């Protein structure tokens, strides 16, 4: 499909495009629901992503078209833009809104998008389109905004324009991703380290539950709020900025301050998951993939029982993986409530795994999962 975009652009706008760009999606290897709690996460960019073809116009319009969606819109250039609803183009519109705050004045632009990240699957299709738009417009118009500022700007779009109180992990992973590397990101300081993601005899399988994520945004914001409650309770005794300022040992000394049982479960997940990321970084560096896999299973269990963001679909996949001899680790990735799981699958077993998992999943859930083996890809680029 992506080869046809120049032609589709021409058909839509009656002229050729002037430039084209790509930005990837991401998976998070471990460290879930940690970014907005100031801890460590370990995402990487994937080779699937979003493409943008663009050209200027003299009509004073911002025009949005996509090969994935029927809805097309034209919005007159203004000083400020409002979210129009749930339509896909609100993500790039939000980016234009933020870029204009950086002193850029859009004078009319034709945009054509195509993406091959399954939407709502936990692989950050929305952060991909945000970072892509920010990166492309910054490059095309030579705005001179540095990459980290583009990441922060894209996050503000998600938080303030779209209304999801997400952390910075997705935008960061997409902007800073490198092929064959995982990113170890400290979400408090925003310092990061690229580490070799050498999976040896294993590859990264991504399994899409194909479950539509209903209520994901409101449940997500609810979790963010519960973590804030836990933090407020702990602050009666200790001076911390984030839940992840505590390791499990220190947390145990103060956790009695959290009286709400649900809030205590959420905070326990966060603190222990953050400890797991520290452990995972070490074992990945040592090449101990078996232990990395065990940490992935432990992460999933915690997201299932304590954080309660899994669901029968994701659990069916991870439960199957635990019984399949050639998988050494699996977990949900991303926000949860449906979306994708990831698994470390021994090379050569892709077909066998897909066959058996598909059967098992269909029997339990009643529809099919989609399985792909993905490489870790590079960040955004001009084509």
The site for ligand GLA (CB under 6 A) is made up of 28, 32-33, 35-36, 166-167, 169-170, 334-335
CA atoms of 148 and 175, how far apart (whole Å): 8
CA atoms of 234 and 179, how far apart (whole Å): 40
Distances, alpha carbon 58 to alpha carbons 55, 62, 63, in Å: 10, 10, 12
Q: Which of 71, 163, 90 shows the shortest CA–CA distance to 129?
A: 90
**Burial class of 323 by CB neighbour count within 10 A (0 to 12, 13 to 18, 19+):** exposed
- What's the gap between Cα 314 and its chain centre? 16
| Alpha-carbon Rg for the chain in angstroms | 21
Q: How far is the CB of 302 from ligand GLA (least distance, A)?
A: 12
Tokens 């009643």 correspond to what residue? 366
Beta bridge partners of 183: 194
The catalytic residue positions are: 170
- Beta strands (DSSP E) in the chain are 19-28, 40-41, 43-56, 61-66, 73-76, 109-115, 181-186, 192-196, 202-208, 327-333, 340-346, 370-374, 381-382
Q: At what angle do helices 169-176 and 147-156 cross, to 10 degrees?
A: 150
- Neighbouring C-alpha atoms within 13 Å toward the C-beta of 158: 27
Q: Which of 120, 50, 326 shows the shortest CA–CA distance to 205?
A: 326
Q: How do 43-56 and 109-115 pair as beta strands?
A: antiparallel
């Amino acid at each position: 499909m992506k080869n046809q975009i120049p032609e589709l652009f021409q058909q839509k706008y009656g002229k050729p495009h002037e430039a084209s760009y790509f930005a990837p999606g991401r998976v998070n290897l471990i460290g879930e629901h940690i970014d907005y709690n100031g801890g460590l996460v370990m995402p990487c960019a994937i080779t699937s992503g979003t493409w943008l073809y663009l050209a200027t116009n003299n009509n004073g319009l911002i025009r949005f078209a996509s090969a994935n969606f029927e809805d097309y819109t034209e919005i007159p250039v203004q000083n400020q833009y409002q979210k129009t609803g749930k339509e896909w183009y609100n993500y790039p519109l939000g980016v234009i809104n933020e870029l204009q705050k950086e002193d850029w004045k859009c004078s009319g632009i034709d945009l054509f998008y195509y993406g091959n990240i399954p939407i709502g699957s936990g692989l950050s299709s929305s952060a991909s389109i945000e970072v892509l738009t920010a990166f492309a417009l910054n490059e095309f118009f030579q705005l001179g905004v540095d990459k980290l500022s583009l990441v922060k700007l894209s996050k503000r779009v998600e938080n303030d324009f779209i209304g999801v109180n997400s952390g910075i992990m997705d935008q960061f992973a997409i902007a800073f991703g490198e092929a064959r590397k995982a990113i170890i990101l400290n979400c408090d300081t925003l310092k990061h380290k690229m580490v070799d993601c050498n999976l040896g005899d294993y590859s990264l399988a991504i399994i899409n539950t194909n479950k539509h994520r209903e209520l994901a945004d409101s449940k997500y914001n609810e979790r963010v709020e519960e973590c804030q409650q836990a933090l407020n309770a702990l602050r009666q005794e200790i001076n911390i900025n984030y839940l992840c300022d505590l390791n499990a040992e220190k947390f145990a000394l103060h956790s009695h301050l959290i009286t709400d049982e649900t809030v205590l479960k959420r905070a326990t997940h966060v603190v222990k998951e953050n400890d797991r990321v520290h452990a995972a970084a070490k074992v990945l560096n040592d090449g101990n993939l078996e232990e990395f896999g065990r940490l992935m299973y432990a992460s999933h269990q915690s997201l299932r029982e304590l954080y309660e963001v899994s669901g029968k679909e994701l659990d069916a996949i991870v439960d199957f993986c635990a019984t399949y001899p050639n998988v050494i680790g699996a977990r949900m990735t991303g926000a949860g409530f449906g979306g994708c799981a990831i698994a470390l699958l021994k090379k050569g077993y892709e077909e066998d795994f897909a066959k058996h998992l598909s059967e098992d999943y269909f029997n339990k859930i009643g529809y099919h999962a989609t399985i792909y083996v993905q490489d870790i890809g590079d960040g955004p680029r001009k084509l």
